[in-house]
Amino acid sequence: MKLNNLRNKFIQYFADHSHAIVPSSSLIPENDPTLLFTNAGMNQFKNVFLGLENREYNRAVTSQKCVRAGGKHNDLENVGFTARHHTFFEMLGNFSFGDYFKKEAIHLAWEFLTKELALPKDRLYVTVFENDDEAAEIWHKQEGVPKDRIYRFGEKDNFWRMGASGPCGPCSEIFYDLGPDVGGDPKQNVMGGEGDRFIEIWNLVFMQFNERETGQKALLPNPSIDTGMGLERLAAVMQGELSNYHTDAFRQILDKLGRSCRGQYIYDTRKLSPSELKKIEMDNIAYRVLADHARATAFLIGDGVLPSNEGRGYVLRRIMRRAIRYGRNLSEEASLLPTAVSEVIALMGDHYTELKQQKSLIEQTSFDEEKRFLKTLDQGTEILQVEISKLQKKQQKIISGDFAFKLYDTFGFPLDLTHLIARENGLQVNEGDFEKHMQRAKEIAKASWKGKALSSDAAFLIKESHKLFNEKGATAFSGFDRLHEQGKVLWLAKDNHVVNTLKEGDLGVLVCDPTCFYAESGGQVGDTGNLETASGYAEVLDCTKNHDVFLHHIKVTSGEIKLNESVALRVDKKSRQDSANNHSATHLLHAALKKVLGDHVNQAGSLVEPERLRFDFTHNQPLSVEQIFEIESLVNSEIEESEDVQSTVMTHKQALEEGAMALFGEKYADEVRVISMGDFSKELCGGTHVKNTSYIRTLKIVSEAGVSAGVRRIEAITGQRAIQFLLKNTRENQVAREKVGFKGNWENYLFEEQKTISDFIDNQREDIKNLTKELQETKGRQINIDLLIANAKDFVHQGFKAKLVTADIPVDDPKVLSELTDKIRDKIQSGVVIVVGEGESSHPIVVSVSKNLVGPYKAGEILKQVAKDLGGKGGGRPDFAQGAANNRSNLKQAFSNIRSHF
């Protein structure tokens, strides 16, 4: 049975048993700072299990995208070497939220495997927690599993916890016997052993306890079910394969790679000799790494992760570079990672449509990263060889862990590659020291994505917001239509304590209902303003929300604010208007970027505040001046059109069918708010906007730069700020034009070709360059060559007299210095000439060796010695070399050092 059919069959089976079909969540966990990537089917239901979120269903079935390549669950270094380790995989799962429990969970699983899939019962085994007599009895009496096929194991294998405290419970695993033909140690090829014969295919978790931090367990009032079954493992069982890589989930990718590098993945290696097997297996490992990592690459980029040097992007870069490095083992010419990634999209894009939607971005990012890394890979190999040569000269046998880690961290060199090259040269690597550096880097990476644990303030507000939501419901928000509201104070807090009163000078948090204050979300900052009760007045410094409860962060400036009082709320009108200008302009900017640059452009982050807007978007190269002008022109044309901004509430499905842009990876409710601006922009959004595009007045892009690989950032201003910016720049331009003698009336300036300040500057630079060149040449002609030769050092080589000329010349034109060096060399006929010039930031070095001395004396080697003393570098031919120095302060000593060698 094909993998796609298996996935569909599993989902349909549970749908027929009253389970809601829930789509896979993004690989970027939503609102969960404890996770780097989604790594299990239950991740998206975590708050449901914790009682923090309610769903309209109490049974669910999913096929969840998962990545295990960082944090606690990290399979990266095992991938390629085993039959079943993956970075990316699909987790099939069925869930019960306080509905059915052990009896039905066990029955559903057993029936699916033995009836729907017709797996032979005599090849299935189950495990239970050592004290879970209830589960063991259900397996035996209800499903008829013989007692000798029911194994009991301890907490390590059969007890599951969500964290240090919280929901937990015993689990029951189902194993499949692959048969006696599986190789390996017979002692380990047993149930509970480390061999490959018995593989776990399904884990049923019975969440029945709530564990306190003290370790005490109390029964949950509504015990739940969480199950997980690896789709690739199940496919291997159903297709009669011992390796996941030999299923249809990977064959198409492996075969495509083979054709691309004029090789072949060997599926059956049983008849190969040991020597043949060794060579073939090295290639097979590379194929498997590429196939697996291409899947992780495609799905991570598709979900919005881009390669970078921190957090999730750092892990993705490691995955991609590991694949590229193994691909280099198969071919030095073929571009293998992008090839494999394209095949993944073709193979899986029908079910996971985001792959097709993001096809151009995924493929271009893969190509760019491969191109970039292949350069550094060659550099890394060269650096390692230099280090090995140094150690061999010193007769040392150990490559330091610090050096090995720098190779790993900077050039993506896995430790095993450093080990391999070291062994080939009779050296070893200090692996213990390497691990210390690796651990330190993991802590840094973990901090970059996880940050600190939730602050006590944040944890307190989350906990209290959940209570308020359960007691009072969501805060009613009226701010789309008004900036004033009358509400009632429902809750007050100060210093992480619930209070009844906030007094003058106090900083605290207030919850009221309803409110007109917009709470920070979707990149837009929270409103500011003030509020007033019969007994006090407070400034609203910010507004945030948790669980749809709006939290007003306030400072009481007079009197006191009391619980249950009526409260008058007033949003700062100008601040709100400026934020609305910038938010609506962001939508127009997003649409314009897609029109000018292409459909691969997607939002990668945004900030909307009263002063400015910041928009991060996926694109692989800097924008040209012409592109920025075209984008600004498109946006300002739409502003000029004075289109009414329409806000419509509709179903998520209807919004997408009508062409509304949704931010990929965002979680949307069944009903969504769609913001439309004529035919130009239609986007899902919960923020505040202008009533008409004319309110924005104008948009000006003030900066465009890269923030990480494949992500650009635009900062822009609108409204009065943009007009002031343009007026200021126009005045500066007018003044500058007058000073350089450019004249003309405004009509000519707007509608005819005229000289610009930029043209003037370019011409001036060219003039300065030419004059500087003439000056340098004049200086060169004025230098007294005879005096330099008179101060030369005489030396004898193989009976021939020769001279060493060292010269400090106050010229920074390498061409002038080269010509001078040639003149000196020709005049002395036999010798070495070393000239150091003088520039502003770097200083040219030129070395020339007469032909009769080339061999014993090499210009490139001599230059390196001089450059080393001057903090520089360079190279060249045996008879001529050029370089540059950073520091001339040590020039006398450098000349003295080189003279001592002659």
pTM, rounded to two decimals? 0.68
What token pair was written down for 668? Answer: 């949307």
Contacts of the segment 450-459: beta carbons below 8 A, 24+ positions apart: 450/33, 450/34, 450/36, 451/33, 454/33, 456/496, 457/496
Q: What is the mean pLDDT of the segment spanning 283-311?
A: 90
Q: Are strands 124-129 and 150-153 parallel, antiparallel or unpaired?
A: parallel
| Averaged pLDDT score across all residues of the chain | 88
Q: How far is CA 191 from CA 12, 156, 195, 237, 527, in A?
A: 31, 15, 9, 17, 61
The Cα–Cα gap between 216 and 245 comes to 43
Q: What is the mean pLDDT of the segment spanning 450-454?
A: 40
DSSP SS3 for 309: coil
- Does the pLDDT of residue 452 top 50, yes or no? no
- Do the Cβ atoms of 45 and 93 come closer than 8 Å? no
| β-strand partners of 547 | none
Sign of CA dihedral 203, 208, 212, 218: negative
Q: What is the pLDDT of residues 603-657, one digit of tens each?
A: 888 999 999 999 999 888 899 999 999 999 999 999 999 999 999 999 888 888 8
User: What is the DSSP secondary structure assignment for residue 840, as one 8-state letter?
Assistant: S
The helices-and-strands tally (H runs, E runs) of the chain is: 26, 34
Q: DSSP states of 183-251 as a string? A: -S-TTTSSTTSSSSSEEEEEEEEEEEEEE-TTS-EEEEEEEEEEEEEEHHHHHHHHTT-SSGGGSTTTH
Confidence bin at 550 (pLDDT 50/70/90): very high
Q: What is the pLDDT of residues 338-348, one digit of tens each?
A: 999 999 999 99
DSSP SS3 for 175: strand
What token pair was written down for 564? Answer: 């249950």
The Cα–Cα gap between 394 and 377 comes to 26
Q: How far is CA 71 from CA 76, 314, 405, 785, in A?
A: 11, 12, 19, 67
Q: What is the pLDDT of residues 265-286, one digit of tens each?
A: 888 887 787 877 878 888 889 9
| β-strand partners of 647 | 675
The Cα–Cα gap between 191 and 363 comes to 43
Helices (H), ranges, 331-395? 336-348, 354-357, 359-393
Q: What is the pLDDT of residues 322-335, one digit of tens each?
A: 899 889 888 878 88
Residue 666, pLDDT score: 61
CA angle 49, 52, 57 (to 5 degrees): 60
Confidence bin at 453 (pLDDT 50/70/90): very low
Residue 273, pLDDT score: 79
17-31, 440-454, 727-741: least confident range? 440-454
What token pair was written down for 732? Answer: 């500066």
Q: What is the pLDDT of residues 767-786, one digit of tens each?
A: 887 887 777 677 666 688 88
Q: How far is CA 307 from CA 311, 327, 367, 409, 746, in A?
A: 10, 18, 12, 14, 48
Phi, psi of 135 (to 5 degrees): -65, -40
Q: What is the distance between the terminal CA atoms of the chain, rounded to a whole angstrom?
A: 79
User: What is the DSSP secondary structure assignment for residue 651, as one 8-state letter?
Assistant: E
Q: What is the pLDDT of residues 574-595, one digit of tens each?
A: 999 999 999 999 999 999 999 9
Phi, psi of 370 (to 5 degrees): -65, -45
**644 CB-side CA count, 13 A:** 3
- Check residues 56 and 136 and name the one with the higher pLDDT: 136
| Percent of the chain residues topping a pLDDT of 90 | 50
For the ranges 121-130, 400-409, 709-718, 846-855, the maximum mean pLDDT occurs at 121-130
- Do the Cβ atoms of 176 and 201 come closer than 8 Å? yes
68-72, 292-296, 866-870: least confident range? 68-72
- Does the pLDDT of residue 80 top 80, yes or no? no
Helices (H), ranges, 692-756? 719-739, 746-751
| β-strand partners of 488 | 513, 566
What token pair was written down for 380? Answer: 């890394």
Residue 814, pLDDT score: 85
- Does the pLDDT of residue 753 top 60, yes or no? no
- Do the Cβ atoms of 535 and 525 come closer than 8 Å? no
- Does the pLDDT of residue 71 top 70, yes or no? no
Angle of helix 251-260 relative to helix 336-348, nearest 10 degrees, comes to 150
**Residue 744, phi-psi category: left (phi > 0), alpha (psi -120 to 50), beta (remainder):** left
- Check residues 260 and 781 and name the one with the higher pLDDT: 260
Q: Label residue 758 exposed, middle or buried (CB < 10 Å: 0-12, 13-18, 19+).
A: exposed
- Does the pLDDT of residue 449 top 50, yes or no? no
CB atoms within 10 A of CB 5: 12
Residue 43, pLDDT score: 86
The Cα–Cα gap between 617 and 600 comes to 9
Residue 454, pLDDT score: 44
Amino acid symbol at 624? S
DSSP SS3 for 648: strand
- Do the Cβ atoms of 296 and 67 come closer than 8 Å? yes
Confidence bin at 566 (pLDDT 50/70/90): very high
DSSP SS3 for 477: strand
Q: Are strands 20-21 and 59-67 parallel, antiparallel or unpaired?
A: parallel
The Cα–Cα gap between 590 and 708 comes to 19
Confidence bin at 446 (pLDDT 50/70/90): low
Q: Label residue 314 exposed, middle or buried (CB < 10 Å: 0-12, 13-18, 19+).
A: buried
Q: How far is CA 780 from CA 140, 608, 818, 821, 826, in A?
A: 98, 58, 10, 10, 16
